[in-house]
Structure 1
Amino acid sequence: MPQIRVRFFAAAREAFGTKECTAAAATIDGLVESLTKDVGAEARTVISRSSFLVNAIAATDHRAPLHEGDTVDVLPPFAGG
């Protein structure tokens, strides 16, 4: 299983209590499952509403394969003006 660098932004950073981690996952869906396995409801809620970038490109297919060394950014909904 590929090792993925995960970066959290805004509310995701707060919910997960870190700005970055590594995780083993083959897809975004698998990454979400791995990241939410042992976390609280807030983190699960935030990630369920988040968008993802894989190597700075929007991930539209959450079943597309991830590769060793990929970087996934977790971007929760932003508000403001």
Structure 2
Amino acid sequence: MNVRYFAAARAAAGVDEERFELPPGSTVGALLAAVLGVERPVPPAGTPPLDRILARSSFLLNEIAVRDRTVVLSDDDVIDVLPPFAGG
């Protein structure tokens, strides 16, 4: 599974995207737990830690909004992490 980070999520993760290999039948929730299990550098000043950002983020699964963290993923799925945006 590929995870792509945007805005503050990118800053907190320290990468634009990363790949995770999880067992068949893994869910969105399991993928997010794997994301949080990665040791990361301290985010830049003013950027919340990744766990706080994920708690408030929206997610796209293959470009379609997904809210249910029990959705089962396939190996070639892409999850986009979209933190809350400000502005207009």
Q: Normalising by the residue count of structure 2, what TM-score does the alignment of the two structures yield?
A: 0.81
Cα offset, 1:24, TM superposition: 2.8
Distance between the aligned counterparts of 1:52 and 1:23, measured in 2? 16
Residue 21 of structure 2 corresponds to: 24
- Listed one character per residue, the Cα deviations across residues 15-74 of structure 1 (whole Å, up to 9, x for unaligned) are 000001001341111011111123467011111111110000001211010001001000
Task: List alignment gaps of at least 5 residues for structure 1.
Answer: none
Answer 1 or 2: which has greater helix percent.
Answer: 1
Residue 35 of structure 1 corresponds to: 35
Following superposition, which runs of at least 4 residues in structure 1 exceed 2 angstroms of deviation? 38-41
Distance between the aligned counterparts of 2:86 and 2:21, measured in 1? 31
Structure 1 position 63 matched with structure 2 position 70: yes
Equivalences, count: 78
